[in-house]
Amino acid sequence: MALTRLFHDSFKALLHAARMQYPRRVAVLPIAHVGHPVLRQRAREVTLFELESPETQGFIDDLVETMRHANGAGLAAIQVHRPLRIVAIEVKDNPRYPYKPNIPLTVLVNPVLTPLTDATFDNFEGCLSVPNLRGVVPRFAELAVTALDRHGAAIEHVVRGITAGTYQHEVDHLDGLLFLDRVQDTRTLCTWDQFKEHFEAAFIERVRTVVTRYGS
């Protein structure tokens, strides 16, 4: 056991040295669009060993970069053709979702979401993998989150309201689900222009109510 650990530590030190010597350039990755079979797969769990590798760490940098480049509120690895249970979430005065409360950059590995109550709210969602379409999806309002962070440390926290909606949207991707699968009234489906013209004002009011009630 000690030998394995020693080997593991030396290997990590070597990898770290290699990374310092050859710093890697962050890349914007192509995003899979609805219809691509990868989006319908169940992404697989990531092992700790795999997570620590420079390859996976570099991939996570690319995932975050791609999310920011596309002004996404979140991005799942599967959306960039890597069926691994990794998602990045970040909302910082997002021009795509100006009404969304901010969320600091969060990387979740092998996340598990557990609703804390039966309470739901109607969320108007869009997706980088479903260009120019939005629709109303019911989401649980309060969730317990367990996951690993990008360095393998345990994450345990509770998310509520609009932020809980974003978490559910991203984690759904890991099970091959798109928001389209959860739209109950298909008459709510609309392009971004039509959303702005016909739905945004009412939705912003609804977001205010949710934020007042749940704090985010």
Q: Interface residues with Zn ion (CB under 5 A)?
A: 127
Place of tokens 């909606």: 165
β-strand partners of 144? 114, 158
Q: 170, 197, 200, 205: which is the annotated catalytic residue?
A: 170
DSSP state string for 3-42? HHHHHHHHHHHHHHHHHHHSPPPP-PPPPP-TT-GGGGSP
Nearer to Zn ion, 52 or 73 (CB): 73
Minimum distance of Zn ion from residue 43's CB (angstroms) = 13
Nearer to Zn ion, 24 or 96 (CB): 96
Query: What distance in Å separates the CA atoms of residue 22 and residue 98, rounded to the nearest whole number?
Result: 38
Minimum distance of Zn ion from residue 75's CB (angstroms) = 8
Q: Is the Cβ–Cβ distance between 117 and 214 less than 8 Å? A: no
Nearer to Zn ion, 75 or 210 (CB): 75
Point out the residue whose Cβ comes nearest to Zn ion.
127
Nearer to Zn ion, 51 or 127 (CB): 127
| Residue 171 identity | V
Does residue 170 have an active-site annotation? yes
Minimum distance of Zn ion from residue 81's CB (angstroms) = 14
49: CB partners within 8 A, 6+ apart: 8
| Residue 195 identity | F
Minimum distance of Zn ion from residue 76's CB (angstroms) = 7
Q: Provide the annotated active-site residues.
A: 170
